[in-house]
Amino acid sequence: MPSAKNAWYTYIFSYYARGMNFTDIAELEWSQIENNHFKYIRNKTDVLIKIQLPDNKIIQEILAFYKMYRPFNESNSQHLSTQDIIGISCVISQRY
C-alpha cells in the first residue's frame, strides 16, 4: 500500500467524516458503510455519530483505494492494524 497516499486519503476521509479520529477510522468496517452513510460510536465519548459522506469524486476514489488495499473479508481483519495507524502517523509527521 502506498504509504503517502494512505496517509493523505486517511486525512481527507477524516475531514469529510466530520473530523473522525484515527482510532475510530481504524475500527470502521465495510459493513457499516452504505450509500456513503455510516454511524459509529466514538471511542472517546461513547456518543453515537451519524455521518453522510458527500457523493464526490475524491470520496469514491478513497473508498475504491481501500477496497483494493483493504478488501476486508472473513479471512482477514475487519480493521486497520496498530501498525497501519503507526505508519499513517509517521508519514504525516514526516510530511509536516
Residue-level pLDDT at 60: 94
State the Cα–Cα distance between residues 61 and 67, nearest whole angstrom.
10
3-state secondary structure of 54: coil
**What is the model's pTM?**
0.70
The parts of the chain modelled with pLDDT lower than 70 are 1-2, 70-96
Q: Residue 48: in which H helix or E strand, if any?
A: strand 48-52
State the Cα–Cα distance between residues 60 and 67, nearest whole angstrom.
10
Given a contact cutoff of 8 angstroms between Cβ atoms, the answer to whether 29 and 41 are in contact is: no
